[in-house]
Structure 1
Amino acid sequence: MAQPTHPHYDRLIAAARALPPLRMAVVHPTNAVALQAALESARLGLITPLLVGPRAKIDAAARELGADLAGVECIAAPHSHAAAEAAVALVHEGRADALMKGSLHTDELMGAVVRREGGLRTGRRISHCFVMDVPGHPQPLVISDAAVNIAPTLEEKVDIVQNAIDLAHALRFPAVRVALLSAMETVNPRVPSTLDAAALCKMADRGQITGAVLDGPLAMDNAIDPEAARIKGIVSPVAGVANVLIVPDLDAGNMLAKSLSFLAGAYAAGIVLGAKVPIVLTSRADGEAARLASCALATMVAQAARAGSIKAVG
């Protein structure tokens, strides 16, 4: 059986390779999978890695790979917590323009990022976006938030939506169409996600959210399938053609993203936005293509922020 192709990722990586490499602190890359992703991204010209962690363990991972670390800068840190702190310090020192999670828990890395003193907070809420390449779907899909914000408030959703819109612009989407997902496409006072969706649309009308056209509540079928939208009589510039999907909570987003990955053969690149620099969060289940695409996301976000085509990384 032929393997599904992922043309959206191919185009993303090609676009990122045309940009200068991103200086990326790779936090605690002490297993072969994490180290290989960093080294392959460097080989493709996506990043210039700074490996942060216990040198002996990094060297052991390199030996397992048969990789040569000559010319790759390594910054010693005795353990994963120290590596996360050191990587954040590299950003403050101007030596790193992005972070990449290695073989440590997400909470360890994000704990150093969100710390009020010395962390990487901005005025924007930190959120996570998946960029999904679904075989057969005509465009990539941004899904947020499926990894950081558990049960976001309406106020927090404003930043989640704006972060996702900024990412879509950084990825050069020709038009950004945001669907605010719920279980239904009508406002129901007993379903809080429909009320949030309606409020977010009105906030966009008032200029509190910018850079995209929003619609919601929309159910998943009529958000991405034109025929489903037609059958239900939904007339909207978003319905059926959405390319940014905002989920009501982390449970819904995580299940949506993983269903696309494990049932539809989608690749899921991931990035954290809203901090002073983009942060690549990888999963142990991620394949090489998804890890490379995640580095490409960070490269394009950082470039867009420098160029001023998005307001800021955060």
Structure 2
Amino acid sequence: MKIEENRTYDEISIGDSAETVRACTVDDFYVYASSSGNHNPMHLAKHDGDGDGKEEAVAPAMWVASLISAVIGNVLPGAGTLYRNQTLRFLKRAHAGDELIARVTVTEKRADNCIVMDTVVTRKSDGATILEGEADVLAPRRKMVFDDLEIPGLLVERHRHFDAMIERAEPLAPLPTAVVCPEEINSLGGAILGARHTIIAPILVGSAAKISAAAAELGISLDDYEVIDAPDHAKAANLCVDLVSEGRVAALMKGHLHTEVLLKAALRKENGLRAGRRFTHVFVMDVPGVPHPLLVTDAAINISPDLRTKMDIVQNAIDLAISLGIETPKVGVLSAVETVNPDIPSSLDAALLSKMAERGQITGGMVDGPLAMDNAVDIAAARTKGITSDVAGRAEVLVVPNLDSGNMLAKQLAYISHAEGAGVVMGATVPIILNSRSDGDKARLASCAVAALHNARITGQMTVSKAAE
């Protein structure tokens, strides 16, 4: 924050005034909750704090009051000022989105550097007074000027992209989903959470005894859910694929079984789920601070994909990105370098995929490569390298050279950048929700939402909602 020179006690006159304008944001309230320890849901977005059925996001009163201290500490008197006393009367409430004007006016100068000021915060849109009071401060004696104070930046770990996807998916008709072996609390809990948010309508297939034990551990009833007893994992996976063939479900969800067991059933020749493309996995990552979802592919199925497989990886990711609301996805094909190097095979593949997109062999998105990670996602890095492209620095889909690099990238985003990741297998006749055992509730719920949104688009059901049923 830039701070101009302060005003010393001798420079201040009665009637002097200063103000600042500040917009209230949802993130401000999360930062306040974290720093103050006040977790009152009245102040937090997506929570109904008083049970009236509405999400409040009311500005915390003391956060509003802190705007007064910002004027006093930064402007009048400024640097070196210390509080002695502050009275506050809260007259109205501010909410996220309001612009507030905090103003102080000097009313009295006392001995020993004491300054008394009227303090008021008003709402800019209608002039309503939010709070008023009086401040008694010790003004500085020494003149000081600061060019810039370096304040560490704060990043709110809020997954707004997943929140938006869940919000879009909830009004749709629940997606009939066969859940394969939800035999422990995480996989069963994820399926039930998706059902409670009316995103999926699960059929639970696996060991009925283990599913019931997991439900008991979670303290939930299974009375409203169909349970098909199949103690053997391979049998359970094949039964779930049969449910797709019979038209009873439109998605699969991995529970507590090995991924290869599920995919073997899905890839079977008779009544399997092949749809003409390779099965490929897409991580949809919600990375705090990134202004859009980031899709990483393939990080879970194809170990060392050849060029033909990479074509399907790119096309599947573009199709999913469109389902998530990205109109023309920007696809960055990653390599260690941003120039074609015959000694680096991934750079050759990237260049060929880019040319294939130009010639219409890959459709629906903009594809560019090879790109190194920095100039794929950072516009300044792209400019420094002299890369002119609609994709460079703006990539929404990252295509990795192989499974090793993709898995490392996704986990770095999760564990270092605090991202949440939703996992979906594409290329089958229906989306396959593929969660990791370590995934939390948000990731599992978002995975359900991603599958539901994709199914809704490919089946032309985006306008069908529960309200219309």
Whether TM-score is above 0.5 comes out as yes
Question: CA, structure 1 residues 288+75, in 2 after alignment: closer, same or farther (shift >3 Å)?
Answer: same
- Which residue of structure 2 lines up, in the alignment, with residue 87 of structure 1? 240
Q: Secondary structure at the match of 1:69?
A: coil
- Which residue of structure 1 lines up, in the alignment, with residue 90 of structure 2? none
- Which residue of structure 2 lines up, in the alignment, with residue 171 of structure 1? 324
Query: Out of 129, 144, 157, which is 2:282 matched to?
Result: 129
Which amino acid is the alignment partner of residue 249 of structure 1?
A: N
2:423 is equivalent to residue 270 of structure 1: yes
Report matched runs for 1:17-56 at 5 Å.
17-56=170-209
- Which residue of structure 1 lines up, in the alignment, with residue 227 of structure 2? 74
2:303 is equivalent to residue 150 of structure 1: yes
2:249 is equivalent to residue 96 of structure 1: yes
Which amino acid is the alignment partner of residue 177 of structure 1?
A: K
- Which residue of structure 1 lines up, in the alignment, with residue 261 of structure 2? 108
Greater relative CO, 1 or 2 (CA 8 Å, sep 6+): 1
Deviant stretches of 4+, over 2 Å: none
What is the distance in 1 between the residues matched to 2:304 and 2:379? 29
Q: Identity rate of aligned residues, in percent?
A: 56
- Which residue of structure 2 lines up, in the alignment, with residue 312 of structure 1? none
Which amino acid is the alignment partner of residue 210 of structure 2?
A: K
Q: Secondary structure at the match of 2:328?
A: coil
Q: Secondary structure at the match of 1:121?
A: coil
Is the radius of gyration larger for structure 1 or structure 2?
Answer: 2
- Which residue of structure 2 lines up, in the alignment, with residue 238 of structure 1? 391
Query: Out of 359, 369, 377, which is 1:206 matched to?
Result: 359
What is the distance in 1 between the residues matched to 2:332 and 2:289? 20
What is the distance in 2 between the residues matched to 1:16 and 1:139? 17
Aligned pair count reads 309
What is the distance in 2 between the residues matched to 1:78 and 1:247? 37
Which amino acid is the alignment partner of residue 81 of structure 1?
A: A
What is the distance in 1 between the residues matched to 2:171 and 2:374? 36
Report matched runs for 1:158-307 at 5 Å.
158-307=311-460
CA apart distance, 1:308: 8.6
CA apart distance, 1:116: 2.1
Unpaired runs of 5+ residues, structure 2, are: 1-30, 35-155, 463-469
Which amino acid is the alignment partner of residue 245 of structure 2?
A: H
Q: Calculate the TM-score normalised by the size of structure 1.
A: 0.96
Contact 2:328-2:364 within 8 A present in 1 as well: no
Q: Secondary structure at the match of 2:157?
A: coil
| Higher share of residues assigned strand | 2
Query: Out of 211, 215, 222, which is 1:62 matched to?
Result: 215
Which amino acid is the alignment partner of residue 177 of structure 2?
A: M
Q: Describe the superposition over 1:80-121 as per-residue Cα deviations: whole angstroms up to 9, x where unpaired.
A: 111101000000010010000011111111110112233211
CA apart distance, 1:28: 0.5
What is the distance in 1 between the residues matched to 2:187 and 2:309? 31
What is the distance in 2 between the residues matched to 1:169 and 1:138? 16
What is the distance in 2 between the residues matched to 1:104 and 1:221? 36
Root-mean-square deviation (CA, aligned residues, Å) is: 1.2
| Higher share of residues assigned helix | 1
Q: Calculate the TM-score normalised by the size of structure 2.
A: 0.65
Which amino acid is the alignment partner of residue 74 of structure 1?
A: V
What is the distance in 2 between the residues matched to 1:268 and 1:297? 11
Which amino acid is the alignment partner of residue 77 of structure 1?
A: A
